C-alpha cells in the first residue's frame, strides 16, 4: 500500500538513509488513513486493462483521491496539491498538450527528477471533482466515477478544461 513512504515522518526515524524522493513528498504519518482509503478505492474501480494514456492514469489516481476526500473530508497533504492550486491554469494547459500520450513522468511517478512528482493526482482530482459538481444525482455520479470506460468523454463531460468551469 505504500506505507513505507511514511516511515521518515515517525519520531526518531531519520530521513538520512531514506531515498531522496521520500524527502520530497514530505508525507506525514497522520495521513496514513488517507492512503489506506485511497488504495482501497482503487480496488473498487472497474478499470478495464492497463491504462493506455496519461489522461487515463491521471483520472484513475484523481478519482481515488477525490473519493477519498468525499469519504474522509480531507484532501491529500502533499506539496503537489499546494503547488497545483497555486499553478492550476498553467498545469492545465501543459497537461492538455500531452494528455493523450503515453509518457507519464511529467505528471506521475517521477520521484527522482521532478519537484512535483505526482502533480497528476491533483489534475485528476480536479477533473473528477468538476464532473461530480456538475451532476445532480450524486449517487449515480459516484457510480460513474468508479466505472469510467471512456476517459476522454469523462474529461469532456467534467467541463474541467472549459474556460468557465464550476469552482
HEC string for 24-56:
HHCCCHHHHHHHHHHHHHHCCCCCCCCCCCHHH
Average pLDDT over residues 63-74: 94
pLDDT confidence tier of residue 165, bands split at 50, 70 and 90: very low
Q: Is the pLDDT of residue 9 over 80?
A: no
Asked whether the beta carbons of 132 and 141 are under 8 A apart, the reply is yes
For 78-108, b/e burial (b = at least 16 CB within 10 A) is bbbbeebeeeeeebbeebeeebeeeebebbb
Ranges assigned E (strand) in 79-163: none
Cell reading at 154: 469523462
Q: Model pTM? A: 0.83
* Residue % of the chain over a pLDDT of 70: 76
Residue extents of the structural domains in the chain: 3-158
Nearest-angstrom CA–CA distance, 121 and 78: 10
Residue 35 pLDDT: 80
Q: Is the pLDDT of residue 63 over 70?
A: yes
Residue 34 pLDDT: 79
pLDDT confidence tier of residue 39, bands split at 50, 70 and 90: confident
Average pLDDT over residues 62-86: 89
Cα distances (angstroms) measured from residue 54 to each of 18, 36, 123: 28, 24, 11
Top-confidence residue, 7 or 161? 161
Amino acid at each position: 500500500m505504500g506505507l513505507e513512504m511514511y516511515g521518515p515522518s515517525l519520531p526518531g526515524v531519520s530521513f538520512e538513509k531514506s531515498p531522496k524522493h521520500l524527502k520530497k513528498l514530505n508525507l506525514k504519518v497522520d495521513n496514513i488513513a488517507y492512503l489506506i482509503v485511497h488504495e482501497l478505492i482503487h480496488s473498487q474501480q472497474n478499470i478495464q486493462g492497463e491504462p493506455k494514456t496519461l489522461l487515463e492514469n491521471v483520472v484513475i489516481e484523481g478519482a481515488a483521491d477525490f473519493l477519498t476526500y468525499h469519504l474522509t473530508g480531507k484532501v491529500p497533504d502533499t506539496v503537489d496539491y499546494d503547488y497545483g492550486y497555486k499553478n492550476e491554469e498553467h498545469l492545465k494547459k501543459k497537461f492538455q498538450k500531452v494528455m493523450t500520450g503515453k509518457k507519464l513522468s511529467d505528471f506521475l511517478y517521477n520521484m527522482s527528477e521532478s519537484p512535483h512528482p505526482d502533480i497528476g493526482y491533483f489534475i485528476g482530482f480536479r477533473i473528477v471533482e468538476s464532473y461530480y459538481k456538475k451532476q445532480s444525482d450524486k449517487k449515480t455520479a459516484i457510480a460513474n466515477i468508479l466505472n469510467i470506460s471512456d476517459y476522454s468523454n469523462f474529461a469532456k463531460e467534467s467541463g474541467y478544461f472549459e474556460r468557465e468551469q464550476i469552482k
